[in-house]
Structure 1
Amino acid sequence: MDEWLIIAALLAGAILGSFLCLVIERFPVDADGRRWLARICHPASACSMCGHRLALRDLVPLLSWVILRGCCRYCHQPISRYPYYLESGTALLLALIAFSCPPPALFAWLTLFSCAVLVLSEIDRRHLLLPDAITLPLLWCGLLFNWQLSPLHLQQAVAGAICGYLSFRGLNEIYLWLRKQDGMGLGDAKFFAALGAWTGWLSLPLIATLAALIGIVVWLVSRLKGQKTIRQPFGPCLSVAGWSLLIAQHGESDWFSFIV
């Protein structure tokens, strides 16, 4: 194991996490892709309290928050810890991928997948929404990823995308017929289709089972805390299950081998 590779992955993850935080914070609720892209590019980052434009030294991932002790350099008001947590989480994800020892090309694919599901999870947690602007490109990237592996992988990926969408869409139609209301959004069906495109149709039952178990645990914890949630986002549960399975499929480490 190359320790320098892990360190490089941590640094790259922190930088990516800083960008992903911007992407999430500027997400428009109407989920218009062009408007979202425009908001990401403009305006420049500024303090949410005083509106002062942040300099490059204020945007160094992780270090800026620690050096400034969680306060704005200009108005000295407390800064949200959210960017710090997201940057740390992204760094950890990339370090785990690097620890599984994939080839450089595969590392790039897994990093792309990890960033996408991380953004989807956080947006779904905040807005109960999985935007097409990410789920649909993620699906096509999954097909392209498996196409460059082998024709057999591509066949399984296409079947995974179809089965993933139809299974969740069918469950929702049954729930709608029985309860006269949607049980899950179409975003969940599209996201499950994207996971099927990345992992293949044979992995879908395991992903759904793991996601359901994670969802039950989250629901129980929220109930123990006295929280009364009407709707629970399922995207983060699917993300954890799908990410774990994909790393288990393509990583060389034994850490995730118990999943598959």
Structure 2
Amino acid sequence: MKLAKLILMHVLAYGAILALLWSPLDLWGFLLAGLLIWVSVIDIRRYEIPDGAVVALLFLGLLLMFQSPVTDRVDLLAGVLIWPAVFWLTATVYRAWRGYDGLGFGDIKLVAGLGSWLGLSGMTFVVLIASISGILTLLASMLVRRSVSGEVEMSGIAFGPFLNLSAWAVWLLMRVQ
């Protein structure tokens, strides 16, 4: 898929969620959307999460954290620390069980960056929504391939875009409340 078309699809998807939730955007929102789209496009094209984007997410999230009340800072810091640990443990157990990677280290770094914006509680919804969306997409993809070839074929998908679009929706919902 051409890069311009992929970016346009992401901008439209993020814009649609923004319009549905009727949430006003400030500079933070534009920065977050831009970073999430950057990560998603690269992950779809190369199955790779760019370190620069994750560092920017983490840095800006931590900067935004200092504008939050102290009680929120604890939840945000927990999101930065706990979700990457959960993802790392999941990836390690899966690799030991199956003998190959099912979750990349980029996804582990990505949830740390997202956690700095959404905290432990927000990331819980992000991971739930992204997991369900990813599973449904994978199942639909398998059904399409089966109907074409007559055989079920397993394949992987980039998980970053699911995490990012879910994070965008949850972040907007948290701001509306």
Same fold (TM over 0.5): yes
**What is the CA–CA distance in structure 2 between the aligned matches of 1:143 and 1:218, rounded to whole Å?**
32
Deviation at 1:156, TM superposition (A): 1.6
**What is the CA–CA distance in structure 2 between the aligned matches of 1:184 and 1:93, rounded to whole Å?**
24
- 1:217 aligns to 2:136 (yes or no): yes
Relative to structure 1, the CA distance from residue 101 to residue 173 in structure 2 (aligned partners, 3 Å threshold; closer, same or farther) is closer
Q: Decide which structure has the larger Cα Rg and report it.
A: 1
User: Is the contact made by 2:122 and 2:171 (CA closer than 8 Å) also made in structure 1?
Assistant: no
**Partner in structure 2 of residue 93 of structure 1:** 14
Structure having greater relative contact order (Cα 8 Å, sep ≥ 6): 2
Task: Report Cα offsets for 1:52-101 as digits up to 9, x if no partner.
Answer: xxxxxxxxxxxxxxxxxxxxxxxxxxxx8752563464266357547634
Give secondary structure in 2 for the equivalent of 1:238. helix
**Partner in structure 1 of residue 71 of structure 2:** 152
Q: Which moved more, 1:149-158 or 1:234-243?
A: 149-158
- State how 1:160-179 maps to structure 2 within 5 Å: 160-179=79-98
Letter in 2 for 1:195: L
Relative to structure 1, the CA distance from residue 232 to residue 109 in structure 2 (aligned partners, 3 Å threshold; closer, same or farther) is same
**Partner in structure 2 of residue 35 of structure 1:** none
**Partner in structure 1 of residue 32 of structure 2:** 113
Count of equivalent residues? 170
Deviation at 1:146, TM superposition (A): 2.2
Relative to structure 1, the CA distance from residue 220 to residue 91 in structure 2 (aligned partners, 3 Å threshold; closer, same or farther) is closer
Relative to structure 1, the CA distance from residue 88 to residue 169 in structure 2 (aligned partners, 3 Å threshold; closer, same or farther) is closer
**Partner in structure 2 of residue 193 of structure 1:** 112
Task: Report Cα offsets for 1:207-249 as digits up to 9, x if no partner.
Answer: 1111111001111221222174522111111112111100000
**Partner in structure 1 of residue 41 of structure 2:** 122
User: Is the contact made by 2:79 and 2:120 (CA closer than 8 Å) also made in structure 1?
Assistant: yes
**Partner in structure 2 of residue 243 of structure 1:** 168
**What is the CA–CA distance in structure 1 between the aligned matches of 2:2 and 2:99, rounded to whole Å?**
41
Relative to structure 1, the CA distance from residue 88 to residue 207 in structure 2 (aligned partners, 3 Å threshold; closer, same or farther) is closer
TM-score scaled by structure 2?
A: 0.84
TM-score scaled by structure 1?
A: 0.59
User: Is the contact made by 2:88 and 2:108 (CA closer than 8 Å) also made in structure 1?
Assistant: yes
Give secondary structure in 1 for the equivalent of 2:101. coil
Higher relative helix content? 2
Deviation at 1:133, TM superposition (A): 1.1
4+ residue runs over 4 A deviation: none
Aligned-CA RMSD value: 2.4
**What is the CA–CA distance in structure 1 between the aligned matches of 2:103 and 2:10, rounded to whole Å?**
27
User: Is the contact made by 1:147 and 1:153 (CA closer than 8 Å) also made in structure 2?
Assistant: no
Give secondary structure in 2 for the equivalent of 1:233. coil
Percent identity reads 26
Deviation at 1:194, TM superposition (A): 1.3
**Partner in structure 1 of residue 150 of structure 2:** none
**What is the CA–CA distance in structure 2 between the aligned matches of 1:95 and 1:181, rounded to whole Å?**
36
Q: Which segments of 5 or more consecutive residues in structure 1 lack a partner in the other structure?
A: 1-79, 253-260
